[in-house]
Amino acid sequence: MPDDRKNYPDPREEDIFAGDRRISRPDSSLPDWEVPDTAYRPIPIVWFTGAMVVQLVALFVIVLAFQHQTGWITISLSSLATGAIGKWTWDRGMSNAGYGWKLATITVMVAQLALACLAAGARL
């Protein structure tokens, strides 16, 4: 039986080509032309965190921008911003998340809105 190892290139020493494509390298498990059959699938914590951070920044800006106005303006704008961020979060995918993630998102958003309302409450 002839030694077949001499007929094939060693991928540790050189690339193996099929036409103009590299088939094998020792530092990669897939050829360079292979695209794995995957897609980005965000998880609920991404939507939760995004909603929390965006709402935090939005309410901070609203409370600071309207600190010399009547508290009703701050409360109204904060409520509108919270509703819009909640809708955006649900449209992103939170509507398909588990019950726990939905409850946690609603709880955090209501708590942050309550803090903004508390800050504006002295100006009512």
* Angle at alpha carbon of residue 61, lines to 59 and 57, rounded to 5°: 55
The reply to whether 48 and 84 lie within a common domain is yes
Residue 17 pLDDT > 90: no
The reply to whether 34 and 53 lie within a common domain is no
The reply to whether 24 and 53 lie within a common domain is no
> Tell me: the pLDDT tens digits for 29-53?
555 566 655 666 678 999 999 999 9
Look at residue 17 and give its three-state secondary structure. strand
Percent of the chain with pLDDT over 70: 67
The reply to whether 4 and 53 lie within a common domain is no
The reply to whether 33 and 86 lie within a common domain is no
**pLDDT of the residue at 79:** 98
Mean pLDDT of the chain: 83
Cα distances (Å, whole numbers) of residue 118 to 17, 60, 71, 84, 114 = 68, 13, 9, 20, 6
Residue reference for tokens 């909640």: 86
Residue 11 pLDDT > 90: no
**pLDDT of the residue at 10:** 64
Selection from 18, 124, 21, 6 nearest residue 74 by Cα: 124
Strand-pairing partners, residue 18, are 21
Number of domains in the chain: 2
pTM (2 d.p.): 0.68
The reply to whether 9 and 56 lie within a common domain is no
Range of the domain at 69: 44-121
